[in-house]
Amino acid sequence: MAETTGYTLPVWVAAAAKAALLALRGEPFEAEQQLALEAGEVIPGAIPGAGPVAIPVVAASPLGAGRALAVARCEPGEGLDLTRGLVVWVEVSWWPPSSEEVWLQIDAGEGAGIHAATGELCLSAYARALLDGNLRALVPAGRGLQVQVIFPAGRRLAERTSNAAFGVVDGLALIGTQATVQRSAAPDQLAEALAALRLRAAAAGFGGDLVLVIGENGLDLAPQLGLPPGLLLKAGNWLGPLLVAAAEAGVRRLLLFGYQGKLIKLAGGIFHTHHHLADGRAEVLTALAALDGLGGPALAALHGAPTVEQALAALGATDPGRAERLRQRVAAAIEQRSLDYLARYGQVGMAVGAVLFDRSRQLCAQGPVGRPLFAELAGVGLVDLAGGGT
């Protein structure tokens, strides 16, 4: 059997979906599904050159009346991962498409995370491309396919994630951006990120711009806001070494893009952001608030809030102007502390901007460098976070 460890949740969903579709077509069950995972085949944005990979599935069966179901079991590889052993169900059925281009409908079943604001399945561009690329050739002309993703244990497991902090409710999100699992806190992940950075900087046509994205939510959100995918590099927790390496590789302008509750650590000079090594978020937020003039019970309440998100929301409910100023202070401090960090290693020529988003995946703070840099890279007007553009 082919090596099957180390694959992200979208891969196991795609394998189950393909097995279910073959059952719907009346074809014999195969315990291994050949999936195309890379750009050289049908999936945009991945590493070219690799052939199809055999991904095991547990079972598949027609359900009658144009429906079929398949089951897979997620194996994410070594290391801590709450999706280990997760049972994945995918039900498929025929449906009449509105056009040849709109032939695939992907819905959230039990345990699959949805955006609270829209009720739609939380699905990354990579996950959608994986399903599209591996299923389309199997769907007859003139027919469409409805895919329902079900994680029987997803609702319970989602309580151990930060999904709710990003407006994702009811289950696990399909936000993987590549086939293989990355270990954001592991040294080999840093090595991979450094290698990707050097390859990017050495490529023909490299213009000197780079966007370091912190976390899968950021990597999913950034292109939706207009940031070019070719500029994005997932940083994981190793921000300090990547900042220095970017300057050494010739990056002239670097944008830090991530969740405010994570990036705030940089405002306190913490450049390895894994919570096992350092936290200090409440202390950083409180210090910046004190510099803005906040004191007494309000400052104590800010420090005692369970999360940065809740602290700023509570402050915004009583003093929205101060909360807005505090967010901008955080972004500006991230930019300045990043420059200070670079200077300690003899790197002084790279501009660093910071753009932060909140739990609802809305931009909430932009530093003085980050604001115009984001607008230029995303091809949009300057964004006024108080409402509208300029």
Spatial CA neighbour of 117 closest among 172, 74, 167: 167
Residue 81 has a pLDDT of 64
Residue ranges and CATH numbers for the domains of the chain are: 9-169 (3.30.2110.10), 187-378 (3.40.1050)
Residues of the chain with pLDDT under 50: 1-5, 39-49, 80, 184-185, 275-277, 386-390
As a whole number of Å, the CA-based R_g of the chain is: 22
Q: Determine contact, residues 389/381, Cβ cutoff 8 Å.
A: yes
From the list 76, 9, 2, the residue with the least C-alpha distance to 33 is 2
pTM of the predicted model as reported, rounded to 2 decimal places: 0.60
Structure tokens, 326: 């505090």
- Per-residue pLDDT at 385: 56
Look at residue 306 in the predicted model and tell me its pLDDT.
Answer: 84
Over the stretch 197-248, which tens digit does the pLDDT of each residue have? Answer: 888 888 888 999 999 998 777 888 899 999 999 999 988 777 888 899 999 9
* Averaged pLDDT score across all residues of the chain: 85
